Structure 1
Amino acid sequence: MPVSSAPEEHLRLQNIGVSFGNVNVIPSLDLSVRKGEMVAFLGPSGCGKTTTLRIIAGLNTPSRGHIVVGGRDITRLPIHDRDIGMVFQSYALFPHMNVSRNVQFGLQMRNVSGREAEERAGRALEMVQLSHLAHRKPKELSGGQQQRVALARALVIQPSILLLDEPLSNLDAKLRDEMRVQIRALQQESGITAVFVTHDQVEALSMCDRVVVMRNGHVEQFGTPTEVYERPATAFVANFVGRTNKLKGKIGSDGVLSAAGQQLHSATTVAPGAVEVLVRPHRIHLQGQAGDTREADNKVKGTVSGLTFVGDLVQYGVRVGDDEIVVEEATRRERRPVGVGDSVVLGWSAEDTLVYPGGGQ
């Protein structure tokens, strides 16, 4: 089968299918990654994202389809001939080697040795700001330092593509935030094409140029972080990426949307029938608060059933008929206190009213 690569794309997955025995893990996957961009594969456990990464790396073989990198079909090439660098979740550093030797390992496997290997490893360690730890063993490093060594080892071979398999999952929250910034900066500085696998939506949205949201081996949506968050293609994407309130509703033959016991307005056009209405908590506001002049296309009366103070946010639970709606608002000193049992009016825009057919995912 002839294969081709469009001028702007660097990685192409063409009709990739994966079966393990009788289980069809990935029915058919088609997508392309542009040169120099960072793309995240995001989704719940078992959705096929890690399997896809392993296929690109050569750790698994697809049942059908082609993997094209820079116009070259690498589908049947062995791992060492694919020109791919990989950062594993466990870092996979050699405990008996110091940092410098760990970084040089990939070069030695490519018959680069001696002074050149040392110089390239030194430059890679400078890039991740670990030159001063070149002679330490992995056990003498923190988790974040080990992560940067693994990153340097992957980058030092100057691969065509960098693959990252949930590399931040073993780090604490603060260190994850720092490493997100560092990895993204290094990727942009080097201009390398990178594919990042994660189940953490914050990592995907904050680090990558585009996001692939997967479910049961299928691509639900492939777009920029803004597109995926603001214009989710399916109810699954809207529910998985970010927090949402879910309301059962319907659209009548006259095109009128009703949910939460009343008529609502939405910018989404959906055929008549049962629907699911999704509204993000931070897009809803309590009307009538001090300094709040926002207009609302949708206004719903309810009763505060609970509240949680989260420092910069207050989360309200509001009972609206049979529905419980969560509202997130920034804390303000001048705001009138709202307590459990208070009657309130919730407001939000038609643009923020996401409607999907079927009343479910």
Structure 2
Amino acid sequence: MPDSSVTNAHLQLQGVGVNFGAVNVIAGLDLSVRKGEMVALLGPSGCGKTTTLRTIAGLHRSSCGRITVGGRDITQLPIHERDMGMVFQSYALFPHMDVARNVQFGLKMRKLPAREVQARAQRALEMVQLAHLAQRKPRELSGGQQQRVALARALVIEPAILLLDEPLSNLDAKLRDEMRVQIRALQQQSGITAVFVTHDQAEALSMCDRVVVMRSGRIEQLGTPTEVYERPATAFVAHFVGRTNKLKGSVDAGGTLTAAGQAMKAHGRLAPGAVDVLIRPHRIGIALPPAQAGAQERNRIAGAISSISFVGDLVQYGVRAGSAEFVVEEATQRHRAALPVGSHVVLHWSVQDTLVYPAGDA
């Protein structure tokens, strides 16, 4: 899928392929990243996102295609000549060096003057708010602090591209949320071009300017977080980026959509055949009958609550409706009790939120 939406790209992959023996891991990948942009490579395990990142870094050699940075062809260059800063999932800090020397390492390898090495390392540690821990060893730091040291070490060399390989996966949920904000702020503050690999949709959507959803070594969709979430190009994207209810359905020769045993409406013209209908749980309203207002704008189906799960900020209802089982998410409210199991309800959702794809696409 050529990325024709970006001109004057800072990082560009053109027809890049990667083979591991007889296995084709990446197939003809085209991707353009603007200067100062942060782009996420998002997808399930084995989709090729980390291989793509490591190929940009020079850790894997491409079997075909071309990689350029600022118009300079780096396809055949060794790792140390590519001007990349990389933050690994494991942080990869040197355990025998203190924080300051870890951050200084890349500068010393470039044989910069000692005074410049110390000054730049100090600025980098101040940027990640760790200057006061410069003399500590990695084992004396928390996971979040080690992550920031790794980030400072990557940024201090002022690379052309910052590559982040699932850097938050080893952190607990609360710290992960904090680090999302910090990494994004540092990337915007420095103005560096960054590529971020993750399998976590929340990280991709909240941290990045654009999201590349990958599947089996190819780009399934590329767009802004809003575009990918609100207008998924395929059922795979809709299912992977966010939670969905999946209904089996069909479209007849006249364009009428049927799912869960009843006629429904969807936006746009539908091609006849078997289809999958996807509806996001939080886009479904749940009400006691009759709830008929605005019937022309919304799909409706009657059902009964079969289960309830309290998830702090959400109540998740299981609802048996027609021939399908729905999951419905509703924000909790302090003074409103959840509807009890067995309640007869009406589910309703916007025609715009009724996503229809050819059957089996996901």
TM-score range, shorter chain: over 0.9
The residue correspondences of 1:110-259 to structure 2 (distance < 5 A) are 110-259=110-259
Following TM superposition, by how much is the alpha carbon of 1:8 offset from its aligned partner in structure 2, in angstroms?
A: 2.7
Structure 1 residue 75, shift from structure 2 partner: 0.5
Report matched runs for 1:2-17 at 5 Å. Answer: 8-17=8-17
TM (norm. structure 2) is 0.95
Give the structure 2 partner of residue 3 of structure 1.
none
Aligned-partner Cα distance in 2 for 1:214–1:336: 41
Amino acid at match of 2:191: G
TM-aligned CA deviation for residue 293 of structure 1: 7.4
Q: Indicate how the Cα distance of structure 1 residues 336 and 123 shifts in structure 2: closer, same or farther if over 3 A, else same.
A: closer
Q: Which residue of 2 aligns with 1:328?
A: 329
Cα distance between partner residues in 1 of 2:333 and 2:152: 44
Q: Contact conserved, 1:268 with 1:354, CA < 8 A, in 2?
A: no
1:98-157: CA deviations, max 9, x gaps?
Answer: 111100100111111411100000000000000000111111111000000000000000
Q: Per-residue displacement from partner, 1:274-325 (whole Å, max 9, x unpaired)?
A: 0000000000011349x99776510101111101112221110001233110
Q: Name the CA shift for 1:292/1:146 in 2 (closer, same or farther; >3 Å).
A: farther
Structure 1: distance between partners of 2:338 and 2:100 = 58
Of 20-29 and 280-289, deviating more is: 280-289
Over 3 Å counting, the alpha-carbon distance change for 1:129 and 1:297 in structure 2 is same
- Deviation track 1:12-43 (CA, whole Å, cap 9, x = no partner) reads 00000111111111121001001100000000
The answer to whether 1:63 aligns with 2:63 is yes
What does the per-residue CA deviation read over 1:76-97, in whole Å, with 9 as the maximum and x for residues that have no partner?
1011111110000010100111
Counterpart residue number, 1:33? 33
- 3-state SS, counterpart of residue 10 of structure 2: strand
1:170/1:83 Cα in 2 relative to 1: closer, same or farther (>3 Å)? same
Question: How far apart, CA to CA, are the structure 1 residues paired with 2:269 and 2:45?
Answer: 32
Distance of 1:8 and 1:177 partners within structure 2? 33
Question: 1:212-247 CA deviation, whole Å, 9 max, x = no partner?
Answer: 000110100000000010000000000001000000
Hey, what does 2:50 align to over in structure 1? 50
Counterpart AA for 2:244: T
CA separation of 1:265/1:159 partners in 2, compared to 1, >3 Å: closer, same or farther? same
2:93 corresponds in structure 1 to: 93
**1:339 CA displacement:** 1.3
Say whether 1:19 aligns with 2:54: no
TM-score (norm 1): 0.95
1:311 correspondence with 2:312: yes
Structure 1: which 4+ aligned runs deviate by more than 3 Å? 291-296, 333-337
Match of 1:189, SS?
Answer: helix
**Preserved contact between residue 267 and residue 351 of structure 1 (Cα < 8 Å):** yes
For residues 292 and 176 of structure 1, the distance between their equivalents in structure 2, rounded to whole angstroms, comes to: 43
Give yes or no for contact 1:248–1:359 (8 Å, CA) kept in 2: no
Superposed, which structure 2 residues align to 1:344-355 within 5 Å? 344-355=345-356
* Amino acid of the structure 2 residue aligned with 1:318: V
CA distance in structure 2 between the partners assigned to 1:292 and 1:272 by the alignment: 29
Aligned pairs, number:
356
8 Å CA contact 1:301, 1:320 repeated in 2: yes
Q: Name the CA shift for 1:334/1:174 in 2 (closer, same or farther; >3 Å).
A: closer
SS class of match (2:67)? strand
Aligned equivalents of 2:126, 2:292: Cα separation in 1: 50
- Cα distance in 1 between the residues matched to 2:228 and 2:324: 26
Could you tell me how far 1:334 is from its partner in structure 2?
5.3
CA distance in 2, matches of 1:102, 1:301: 62
Residues of 1 paired with 2:330 and 2:292: CA distance?
A: 11
Which whole-Å CA distance do the structure 1 matches of 2:15 and 2:328 have between them?
42
User: Is residue 163–residue 195 contact of structure 1 (8 Å, CA) maintained in 2?
Assistant: yes
Higher mean C-alpha displacement, 295-304 vs 210-219 = 295-304
Deviation, 1:351, is 0.4
Question: How far apart in 2 are the matches of 1:215 and 1:151?
Answer: 28
